Amino acid sequence: MTDKKGGIPIPLIVLAIVVLGGGGLGIERYLAGRGHVTTDDAYVTGDIVRVSPQIAGTVVAFNADETQFVRQGQVLVQLDPEDSKIAVQQAEANLGQVVRDVAQMFAAERRDVAAVAASQVQLSRVEQDLARDQTLINIHGVSAETLQHDQQAVHSARAALDQAEAVLRTTRAAIEGTTPETHPRVLQAEAALRNAWLTGTRTKVAAPVSGYVVRRAVQLGQQVTPASEMFGIVPADKVWIDANFKENQLAELRIGQPVAVTTDIYGSAVTFHGHVQGLVPGSGSALAVLPAQNASGNWIKIVQRLPVRIGLDAKELEAHPLFLGLSSDVNVDVHDHGGVALSKLPAWNAAATTDIYAPQDDGVNADIARIVAANLAKETAADVGQR
């Protein structure tokens, strides 16, 4: 078909328009893609906090389940507390008895000091008797038998004094440099009470972080140990993208380059923005537990992929939460080559802390002070009554 004037056929005109349009679109995409590296082999990743008990016990209650949000410090599991209560009572009774025993040791020192003083007085008296009788023996004022008796009394008094001083040294060796409150036996009993107290507070298993429960692996009546995983918690605000780029895409990747991410869950309607945080210095196959061995005659070259970590904007994550394992498309703007592929300085703050275990011994110091003061007072009162 041609126009009425015998010009160019219409199908050729249409074909030319299509070719020119397609060529222009191809050129546009080529120019736009020159400064970008993309991959659809990318997935949402995050921390999974695995909650385990600090002690062994029997589960009597749990207070959360999968998909539920838990806050840091919230009690997730209650273990049977009866055994720990008995242990605390035994440790308290033991501390009270040890305090009394140590107080008696200090009282024994005072007794032994008094015994040494009495022996010294006795020795001084018999020595005076001996000295007096020695002056009288020359004038026959006393008999030789009396003088001999005085000498034996002096020897006996000196032996008694030596014995009293030895007992005092033994007593002082057990308490020297301490007070009833700081004696090693008391400190040891206090440590035993702290341990029993901690065991009691650890029957309540709390969430170390805030997040969503993704796994519950505990049942009522179950016997658990510190090796038992009971809950898995994912902090929803701390996720990132692990993008697996081909090795021929890595040359222009640098830490800090801007990234646009779309996910299958939200589609093209939501674009997440982030930055390259780091490149793992090894391919997935090389870092596998059992790396591939290619030392054979049947070797076939396979393009390797390297994991690249992409950090996301926290506000965008809050508005559009992402879940672990979801697929995503990553587009890295590689125009800026000012950064480095590997850095000795961290590109983000990787530190994580929790303070839920700090208050576990709250109250034990007051309990120890109460027990020590009460038993010292009773022992002091008893010692005064005996005197």
pLDDT confidence of residue 132: 78
For tokens 């036996």, the residue is 185
* pLDDT, average across residues 2-17: 64
pLDDT confidence of residue 34: 65
In this predicted structure, which of 5-9, 16-20, 147-151, 382-386 has the lowest mean pLDDT? Answer: 382-386
pLDDT digits (tens, 9 = 90+) for 194-231: 999 999 999 999 999 999 999 999 999 999 999 999 99
Cα dihedral across residues 161, 162, 165, 171: positive or negative: negative
Assess contact for 156 and 54: CB atoms under 8 A.
no
Assess contact for 259 and 347: CB atoms under 8 A.
no
Tokens at 71, concatenated:
């806050």
**Integer Cα distance of 253 and 260 in angstroms:** 14
Whether pLDDT at 177 is above 50: yes
HSE at residue 195, side-chain half, CA atoms within 13 A, is 10
pLDDT confidence of residue 291: 74
HSE at residue 319, side-chain half, CA atoms within 13 A, is 10
- For the chain, residues classed under CATH 2.40.50.100 are 49-82+206-233
Q: Which residues contact 68 (CB under 8 A, 6 or more apart)?
A: 212, 213
The reported pTM is 0.74
CATH number among 1.10.287.3510, 2.40.50.100, 3.20.20.70, 2.60.40.10, domain 49-82+206-233: 2.40.50.100
Whether pLDDT at 25 is above 60: no
